[in-house]
Amino acid sequence: MSLYLKQIEQLIELQKVDDEIHAIRLELESAPREVEELRGRFTETSDLRTRQQDKVEHLCEQERRLGSELEDDTARLKKSKSKLMQVGNTREYHAMVREMDSLERVNRNREEEKLAIAEEVTRQKSLYEEIEANFSSLEAELAAHEAGLDERMSRARKSLDGLLVKRGQTARDVPVPVFSRYEFIRERLEHPVIVPVVAGVCSGCNIAIPPQNFIELQKGAQILSCPNCQRLMFWTEHFTPQE
């Protein structure tokens, strides 16, 4: 195996360790954020649940009030009908009839309003049940995430410690000038540092490299960087199963 291929292999092995380290660090960042986002969703749903509950209670109170008013007016109407038969003159009779007609109109309006509110109560209760189900689901999910967060973070930190040790061991196999170049790029670019070129395209930036650069890469004489993204690159054909 040529010196070039050996160094590329060493860099690929180092990149594999860095891939694992990168994944663990993303886990350490994302785990608390996931729980925090879940807390936010739970709080929003809890507030929505409270508002919906208040709305249902308000509608139910309106329904009860209308029912009570209907009962009172119905009782008044019944009394008026009983007194109507005892009226002594026409003027008083017509006055009572007008009052009874007015009460009946009010009662009809109240009946319609009560019916509309009853329908709205049914609709809002159904919405509340949906919110309640979502609330319960989020509550259980949040409890599980919160309970497992410390263990998840501890496990990730332990894995990271082991990987950092492994990285130090792997890095020792890479010649200092090559490792320094790798580290220089790693500190300035997004992960990863070394990437394969497939069919003339850099897999780091997904842009075709110039033909002359591709020819130089195929020669396998020196470690080259992508002219576009500056990542180190290697030709996949140098590492086919046949090779």
Mean pLDDT of the region 145-156: 91
Report all structural domains of the chain as residue ranges with CATH numbers, in order of start.
23-171 (1.10.287.1490), 176-239 (no CATH)
Q: What is the pLDDT of residues 190-208, one digit of tens each?
A: 899 999 999 999 999 999 9
**∠ CA 141-137-49, rounded to 5°:** 120
Average pLDDT, the chain: 90
Instruction: Report pTM.
Output: 0.65
Q: What is the pLDDT of residues 93-140, one digit of tens each?
A: 777 777 778 778 887 888 888 899 999 999 999 999 999 999 999 999
Half-sphere exposure of 17 toward its Cβ, with a 13 Å CA cutoff? 17
* Tokens, residue 238: 């140098």
* Tokens, residue 99: 């009052």
Identify whether the C-beta of residue 194 lies closer than 8 Å to the C-beta of residue 231: yes
Confidence check: pLDDT of 241 > 90? no
Compute φ and ψ for 226, nearest 5 degrees.
Answer: -65, 130
Q: What is the pLDDT of residues 56-81, one digit of tens each?
A: 999 999 999 888 888 887 787 777 77
**Which positions ≥6 away from 236 have C-beta within 8 Å?**
196, 197, 198
Q: What is the pLDDT of residues 14-64, one digit of tens each?
A: 999 999 999 999 999 999 999 999 999 999 999 999 999 999 999 999 999
DSSP 185: H
Four-point Cα dihedral 229, 233, 237, 243, nearest 10: -170
Identify whether the C-beta of residue 218 lies closer than 8 Å to the C-beta of residue 200: no
